[in-house]
């Protein structure tokens, strides 16, 4: 049995991961589950999978879960806080760690899993956005295995040579083509975007995702973060990563080779496919996904992204080109701005303004250690909140 820790088990990726695991009870055993404060869903998951540990980041939520599990005679032990996350990310019996905590909060436990030499299924792109070279160096130093779960990066991984070692010249690669749906506002008039509501921004046309990621998809900041992630995962320069708008979300990404070949991975828009791919790699397992019907799809459309419509994508490329802690600043400002938008404190179009002003006013420094990255993250959050408070 392969032991699995699921960091962020109550979110959309975590739920999909458990769905795949439940289809193969003879292969995988859930060792630990973690969540922020969703006690109700965590209790259900503990009843179903009987993990050794459950972690609630929120202390009060942990106390509530303890009481509920005690009443049900569960043997699951409850841990709390960041210390609890790091504990279950490094358990000896957890060979595999699904890193699915949304945002910068997932950095430290995912880094701890890398230091423990785990097989990491990386759905938390922010770990690389914040600490790219630090994280990749840690993976290499401790012999961890890093497998991408984002549908686009998993597609690229599947289209690369099996022995790809980070040298695109040796592999005969020209560039990667990172597909993007364009979100719910791909064709809406620009002047109408100022009045977009959180409910509209969270209504993604193809994917079922959490609220924060859905907003990031609507602004295309999510794709910008994925560009940064791809730079570190596959050792690429920004100009070797081309974003392609593909509204059907059937082609999940492509790799272009020097001989003119373009390899693509296609599938239904269901996150269980990349989850199963990473969980079982190099084997293949059933993910419970509906088979792709090309006759029903009928046609595939592709276009270049419009930076005027999606300024957050341009900002991500600029932060990546600047290097150092700029990408940590970008991510922190965006997290604060998106939270303010979801709380009704900021207009949709002002998300990019907050990120741009934060990047312009906080100097980037070399990301030499994790403390430097975390300091940049904190400074950017404070400045972004200041901007939002001023605007309000």
Q: Are 47 and 74 in contact (CB under 8 A)?
A: yes
Q: Which residue has the tokens 């009928």?
A: 298
Q: How far apart are the first and last CA of the chain?
A: 54
Question: What pLDDT sits at residue 322?
Answer: 95
Q: Are 89 and 112 in contact (CB under 8 A)?
A: yes
CB count in 10 Å sphere of residue 187? 8
What is the sign of the dihedral through the CA atoms of 302, 308, 310 and 312?
positive
User: Structural domains in the chain?
Assistant: 2-148 (3.40.50.720), 156-297 (no CATH), 323-391 (1.10.1740.10)
Question: What pLDDT sits at residue 261?
Answer: 98
pLDDT tens by residue, 302-347: 999 999 999 999 999 999 999 999 999 999 999 999 999 999 999 9
pLDDT tens by residue, 254-270: 999 999 999 999 999 99
Rounded to two decimals, the pTM is 0.93
Question: Measuring CA to CA, which residue among 240, 219, 286 is closest to residue 24?
Answer: 286
Whats the size of the chain, residue-wise? 392
Q: How confident is the model at residue 21 (pLDDT cuts 50, 70, 90)?
A: very high
Question: What is the C-alpha separation between 144 and 141, in angstroms, rounded?
Answer: 8
Q: How confident is the model at residue 238 (pLDDT cuts 50, 70, 90)?
A: very high
Q: Is 342 exposed, middle or buried (0-12, 13-18, 19+ CB in 10 A)?
A: middle
Question: What pLDDT sits at residue 12?
Answer: 92
What's the mean pLDDT when you consider all of the chain? 95
Residues with Cβ within 8 Å of 5's Cβ and at least 6 positions away in sequence, in order, are 31, 32, 33, 34, 88, 89, 91, 94, 96, 97, 98, 113
């Amino acid at each position: 049995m392969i032991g699995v820790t699921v960091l962020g088990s109550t979110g959309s990726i975590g739920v999909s991961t458990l769905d795949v695991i439940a289809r193969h009870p003879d292969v995988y055993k859930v060792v630990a589950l973690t969540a922020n404060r969703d006690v109700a869903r965590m209790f259900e998951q503990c009843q179903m999978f009987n993990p050794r540990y459950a972690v609630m980041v929120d202390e009060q939520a942990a106390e509530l879960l303890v009481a509920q599990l005690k009443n049900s005679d569960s043997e699951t032990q409850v841990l709390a806080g960041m210390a609890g996350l790091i504990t279950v990310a490094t358990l000896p019996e957890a060979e595999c760690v699904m890193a699915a905590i949304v945002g910068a909060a997932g950095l430290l436990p995912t880094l701890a899993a890398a230091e423990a030499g785990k097989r990491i299924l990386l759905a938390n792109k922010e770990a690389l956005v914040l600490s790219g070279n630090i994280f990749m160096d840690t993976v290499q130093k401790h012999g961890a295995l890093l497998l991408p779960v984002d549908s686009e990066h998993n597609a690229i991984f599947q289209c690369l040579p099996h022995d790809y070692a980070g040298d695109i010249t040796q592999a005969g690669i020209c560039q990667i083509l990172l597909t993007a749906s364009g979100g719910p506002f791909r064709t809406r008039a620009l002047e109408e975007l100022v009045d977009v509501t959180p409910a509209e921004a969270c209504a993604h046309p193809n994917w079922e995702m959490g609220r924060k990621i859905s907003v990031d998809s609507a602004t295309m900041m999510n794709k910008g973060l994925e560009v940064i992630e791809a730079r570190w995962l596959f050792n690429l320069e920004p100009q070797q990563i081309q974003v392609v708008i593909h509204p059907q979300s059937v082609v999940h990404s492509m790799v272009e080779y020097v001989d003119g070949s373009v390899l693509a991975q296609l599938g239904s828009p269901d996150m269980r496919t990349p989850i199963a791919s990473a969980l079982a790699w190099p084997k293949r397992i059933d993910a419970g996904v509906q088979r792709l019907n090309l006759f029903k799809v009928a046609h595939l459309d592709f276009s270049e992204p419009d930076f005027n419509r999606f300024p957050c994508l341009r900002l991500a490329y600029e932060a990546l080109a600047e290097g150092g802690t700029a990408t940590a600043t970008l991510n922190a400002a965006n997290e604060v701005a998106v939270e303010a938008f979801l709380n009704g404190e900021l207009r949709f179009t002002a998300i990019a303004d907050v990120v741009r002003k934060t990047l312009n006013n906080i100097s980037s420094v070399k990301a030499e250690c994790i403390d430097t990255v975390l300091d940049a993250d904190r400074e950017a959050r404070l400045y972004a909140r200041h901007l939002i408070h001023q605007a309000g």
